[in-house]
Amino acid sequence: MDTEVAPAVADIAAEIAAMDIRGAATIADAAAEALAIQAKESDAETAAAFRTEMHAAAGVLYDTRPTAVSLPNTLRFVFQSMDGTTVEGLRQSAVDAAERFQTQLDRAQDDLGEIGANRLRDGDTVMTHCHSTDVLACVEAALDQGKDLSAVVKETRPRNQGHITAEQLREWDVPVTLIVDSAARRYLDDVDHVLVGADSIAADGSVINKIGTSGLAVSARERGVPIMTAAQTIKLHPGTMTGHTVEIEMRDEAEVVDPGDRDEIGDITVENPAFDVTPPRHVDAIVTERGQFPPESIVTLMRELFGETSERPWEAPV
Ligand SMILES: O=C(COP(=O)(O)O)[C@H](O)[C@H](O)COP(=O)(O)O
């Protein structure tokens, strides 16, 4: 019989899958919250039954979206800290770990913001792609330092997360120019920095982020505009140290072509990859809460934080 997960956990997983909860850091925070809920609501009578429930909850969360490594990194953190021989002991350690993780997540974003802000000067214009809370933390910290910034915001088809970025920047009184994605190269001469987030960072320093990031980075390089990735260390993908690749999520074609128009267009293939890979040579700096790194050296930090292994302790033992 399948193990039931708490309804609130199933709801959070459904919201992640539907992208009502989205963005790598926000997904991580929600996954930690969900594991804490599962632990608190469990009525398991034995430690083994409790563990089985926690594995089931982790499995439901893991299966939502494949590209943001912040999700499995959250599960790993909580499971590595879950310890005890009784239900109460396990419950308490899981809840504590999830809360500690969420606190560290907030602190890391603040610390990263301070570091990223140091790269921005008074009067600079930044270009953004998609919506990244790590990027916005850098902008917010720069504004707090008293710097005036303006922004060129790419709409980021097909789901227009650029609108969320534009709204947040306007709330902070940053003048915003919203452009379609294909206009980016035309506007690069007017900007001082390209700022992007990350869903995963591979051991060779490649940045996996919202589709369109790699093309933007190539154009920025050609124009001589520095490109910075703002990414907390939960975006580092330990599996890539042992040769694994990052799965790129393929999403529904209905996000690209309105189903009503589909018949009119005729028999064509529509593909909708949600992310792409920007090679390290097109990225100037990866800004983390531990400092800024040239992409090629990020593996040193990855090894320090994750060790040589990439265990998956959230999976039920077979
Ligand atoms: O690509 C996206 C979001 O993709 P989606 O909208 O498909 O989830 C963001 O740039 C990263 O997740 C970083 O975000 P953050 O800095 O908030 O972690």
Which among 109, 130, 155, 256 is the best mutation to test ligand 1's pocket, defined by most ligand atoms within 8 Å of the CB?
Answer: 130
Which among 22, 74, 131, 278 is the best mutation to test ligand 1's pocket, defined by most ligand atoms within 8 Å of the CB?
Answer: 131
pLDDT of residue 2: 67
Domain that holds residue 49: 7-111
150-201 per-position pLDDT tens digit: 999 999 999 999 999 999 999 999 999 999 999 999 999 999 999 999 999 9
Give the ligand 1 atom nearest the CA of 22: 8
Does 235 share its domain with 132? yes
Looking at the predicted structure, is the pLDDT value of residue 318 above 90? no
User: Measured between alpha carbons, how far is 90 from 97 in angstroms, rounded to an integer?
Assistant: 10
Q: Which of 49-53, 135-139, 189-193, 313-317 has the lowest mean pLDDT?
A: 313-317
Does any domain span residue 232? Answer: yes
- The stretch 115-131 carries a mean pLDDT of 98
Does 120 share its domain with 150? yes
Does any domain span residue 42? Answer: yes
Which among 27, 160, 210 is the best mutation to test ligand 1's pocket, defined by most ligand atoms within 8 Å of the CB?
Answer: 210
pLDDT of residue 206: 98
Does 147 share its domain with 184? yes
Contact 196, 207 (CB under 8 A): yes
> Where is the domain boundary, 68, 91, 111?
111
Does 195 share its domain with 296? yes
Looking at every residue in the chain, the average pLDDT score rounds to: 96
Does any domain span residue 311? Answer: no
pLDDT of residue 3: 76
Q: What is the ipTM of this complex?
A: 0.99
Q: Whose structure tokens read 């190539």?
A: 218
Residue 24, marked binder: yes
pLDDT of residue 270: 96
The number of folded domains in the chain is 2
> Where is the domain boundary, 111, 146, 163?
111
Residue 23, marked binder: yes
Does 229 share its domain with 101? no
Looking at the predicted structure, is the pLDDT value of residue 1 above 60? no
Q: Which residues' Cβ are closer than 6 Å to ligand 1?
A: 22-26, 68, 130, 132-134, 161, 197-199, 209-210, 274
Residue 210, marked binder: yes
Looking at the predicted structure, is the pLDDT value of residue 211 above 70? yes
CATH number at residue 204: 3.40.50.10470
pLDDT of residue 101: 98
Residue 65, marked binder: yes
Give the ligand 1 atom nearest the CA of 133: 17
**Ligand 1 midpoint to CA 263 (Å):** 32
User: Measured between alpha carbons, how far is 99 from 289 in angstroms, rounded to an integer?
Assistant: 19
pLDDT of residue 304: 96
Residue 40, marked binder: no
User: Measured between alpha carbons, how far is 310 from 275 in angstroms, rounded to an integer?
Assistant: 22
Q: Whose structure tokens read 């969320």?
A: 164
pLDDT of residue 96: 98
**Ligand 1 midpoint to CA 40 (Å):** 29
Residue type at position 242:
T
For ligand 1, atom 5, name the residue with the nearest CA: 23
> Where is the domain boundary, 67, 93, 111?
111
Q: Which residues are catalytic?
A: 130, 199
Q: How many CA atoms lie within 13 A of 237 on its CB side?
A: 25
CATH number at residue 80: 1.20.120.420
**Ligand 1 midpoint to CA 17 (Å):** 14
**Ligand 1 midpoint to CA 275 (Å):** 10
- Among 210, 26, 236, smallest CA distance to 129 is for 210
Nearby residues of 274 by Cβ (< 8 Å), 6 or more positions away: 67, 210, 211, 248, 249, 250, 251
Q: Is the peptide bond before 273 cis (omega within 30 degrees of 0)?
A: no
Q: What is the SS3 assignment for 282-316?
A: HCCEEEECCEEECHHHHHHHHHHHHCCCCCCCCCC
310 confidence band (pLDDT: 50, 70, 90): low
Does 20 share its domain with 47? yes
Structure tokens at 228: 């910075």
